[in-house]
Structure 1
């Protein structure tokens, strides 16, 4: 009689093998972990490289800022004159405006600097007196403040040699500043005059299959950067004019220099305008009393609210749309990493990075649709026939903002 067929449900006689592979959640976490490590390392490498050529980075960044501001004016002049002359006329116009503003600031502050310092010191004395005579558990009187000043003077005297050596070292910073300005103007001339030709040459150096993506990323980044730059300049001018009018109506002395401080402070997000407001309030307190100081504080705070809720959305629109928490964190990180320069450039860099990321994620397969490419991609002149054809004819979009901007 034949043996029965072995049962398929019979248990194996040897030990049961175990799956040595890690669970799926661990593999996913590990995959994301090493990617994040590589990303952070890449960002750190970029920051390190920037610090090694900081002068060049600042010069190029300043050139892009000037280009974004002057490019519409250059396009306007280009309607009636050649591009080279339009570039020269736009730069000359910018120099005249900036030079006039600096001259006005120097003359107004130089003529009233002693008065401004005196009013500020008087305001500080009044604030200390108010704190001393109030019911707050704070014991700060004028003698204590004078003692602080004497201690600071003693420290300066004891460390005078160190301070002198550092001042001598700062002379090199002046030379570097001049070099940065000259290099920025040099780059600005070529960005305004032949930005399109430079961009088209760069596009011929990348593979044809990725040119549309590069064009879309550059267009989104430049669209955001130029929108932020022109917008912040218009907002700063508006803030300065409104502050000057408001201080003049209240009869606060030194209204013009204080309005200039508000204008300059607008370029430093979150902290610049409040510092200018504090200085204006202290001067108003010394000149016209507590009620005027409170009125100045509330008025400039109202100007800040007008800027945040009306001017920036109206002028910048959707070009720069960042949550206030992101702005605060970016400015803080920028200040820690790069001081005042980091605080100024943090917001535009974050806005450009987010715009680039948003453009790249529009298609899962990495391709970018045509509608994702804004009209502005790079600064420069209009299209040229010589540059219109790429090496294989696969890229013929005109990235110049000169076509549609004014």
Structure 2
């Protein structure tokens, strides 16, 4: 009876049409895959402050690693070299922030006024050239504002205090992790590799090296490109006598760390300020300057500064930045692209290692004359 009972379901399954069996199998795999993605997404959202702190720590470690290596070549202990590197970073950030604040603190209120005037002029242009009324445009803007406020969770004091606490905690955690990674990062990696044997050890070592090189090239290249963009657009604003050139150049520099979207937002702000302050002709000239700088960056500077292994397709960058923004806001948009680049580089290295280890396919024998 056991054999008959056990053979029944197998016979029933085998008797089903192949299309039904395939649909059942694919549906089951899809359910498991969606459930895994859902659980992973929930975990990422709950641990977003920790994940962002760790990602920023790795980004800064890759950026500052040449500095601490140079200090170690001077025979400094690892802990002292790491501490001096972090102090140098904090000194640069505090000094640059203080300088920029002293130069632009009184201009940010003017920047907001210029932006409002630029938006008003753009609104008048839209309503005068497109078949849309002021009331319809107001409804669209109100709906967008309500959607943004609901997505941001409101501005109540409790959520604001919690966000501030998360930012402070994440910053302190990132600084502590940065010290330990600069001091003991290589020994930690060697400890991981020593626990592996066989071919997996070499593949893991190669994937780790390639991923680290990709992160280092991305961090240093992004900073250089952001600085070049800010200088180029800042010079254009000064030549065109657009007010608030320094704050706009600072916004351009910060926007350079968020690929595609950051540059677009920064360029839009510059054009709106030029439109409000100097009129449509100057705004068009600023737009032309922004497009020219971005084209030079994308077609000349990025291939020279960034390594080929770092470059991703624009569609992949847009999806990564959007996902990072939805998960963790601006901080998520900042770390989304380097994480994607490193993960892709690691996967590519593992795949190439597997292809090299697999035996070659047997050659097809040549056809004879009789055939």
- TM-score, L = length of structure 1: 0.73
Aligned to 1:346: 336
Aligned 8 A contact 1:228 1:319 in 2: no
Q: Structure 1 stretch 180-189 or stretch 72-81: which is displaced more?
A: 72-81
Distance 1:263 1:34 in 2: 48
Aligned to 1:304: 294
Instruction: Tell me, yes or no, if structure 1 residue 214 matches structure 2 residue 204.
Output: yes
Aligned residues: 338
Aligned to 1:75: 69
Instruction: Tell me, yes or no, if structure 1 residue 187 matches structure 2 residue 147.
Output: no
Aligned 8 A contact 2:68 2:85 in 1: yes
Map Cα deviations across residues 101-150 of structure 1 (whole Å, 9 max, x no partner): 22233233321123222222332333334445x44333339xx97x999x
Aligned 8 A contact 2:56 2:335 in 1: no
Aligned 8 A contact 1:223 1:319 in 2: no
Q: Structure 1 stretch 270-279 or stretch 327-336: which is displaced more?
A: 327-336
Secondary structure of the residue that 2:308 maps to in structure 1? coil
Structure 2 counterparts to residues 242-321 of structure 1, below 5 A: 242-321=232-311
Instruction: Tell me, yes or no, if structure 1 residue 92 matches structure 2 residue 82.
Output: no
- TM-score, L = length of structure 2: 0.79
Aligned to 2:150: none
Q: Structure 1 stretch 336-345 or stretch 62-71: which is displaced more?
A: 336-345
1:126 aligned residue (116, 121, 124): 121
Distance 1:27 1:148 in 2: 49
2:325 aligned residue (293, 314, 335): 335
C-alpha displacement of 1:220: 2.0
Aligned 8 A contact 1:67 1:192 in 2: yes
Map Cα deviations across residues 201-224 of structure 1 (whole Å, 9 max, x no partner): 222333455211221221222222
Instruction: Tell me, yes or no, if structure 1 residue 109 matches structure 2 residue 104.
Output: yes
Map Cα deviations across residues 265-317 of structure 1 (whole Å, 9 max, x no partner): 11222221111111111111122221111111111121111222122211112
**CA distance 1:363–1:35, change in 2 (3 Å):** farther
Instruction: Tell me, yes or no, if structure 1 residue 167 matches structure 2 residue 157.
Output: yes
C-alpha displacement of 1:163: 6.0
Stretches of structure 1 lacking an aligned partner (at least 5 in a row): 1-18, 156-161, 369-406
C-alpha displacement of 1:234: 1.4
Distance 1:148 1:37 in 2: 37
Distance 2:75 2:357 in 1: 39
Secondary structure of the residue that 1:364 maps to in structure 2? helix
Secondary structure of the residue that 2:352 maps to in structure 1? coil
**CA distance 1:363–1:124, change in 2 (3 Å):** closer
Distance 1:306 1:122 in 2: 30
Distance 1:171 1:32 in 2: 46
CA RMSD of aligned residues (A): 3.4
Aligned 8 A contact 1:119 1:283 in 2: yes
Instruction: Tell me, yes or no, if structure 1 residue 139 matches structure 2 residue 139.
Output: no
Q: Structure 1 stretch 251-260 or stretch 280-289: which is displaced more?
A: 280-289
Secondary structure of the residue that 2:133 maps to in structure 1? coil
**CA distance 1:131–1:110, change in 2 (3 Å):** same
Q: Which has the larger radius of gyration?
A: 1
Aligned to 1:388: none
Map Cα deviations across residues 143-177 of structure 1 (whole Å, 9 max, x no partner): x97x999x99xx9xxxxxx967x223211221221
Stretches of structure 2 lacking an aligned partner (at least 5 in a row): 1-12, 147-152, 359-371
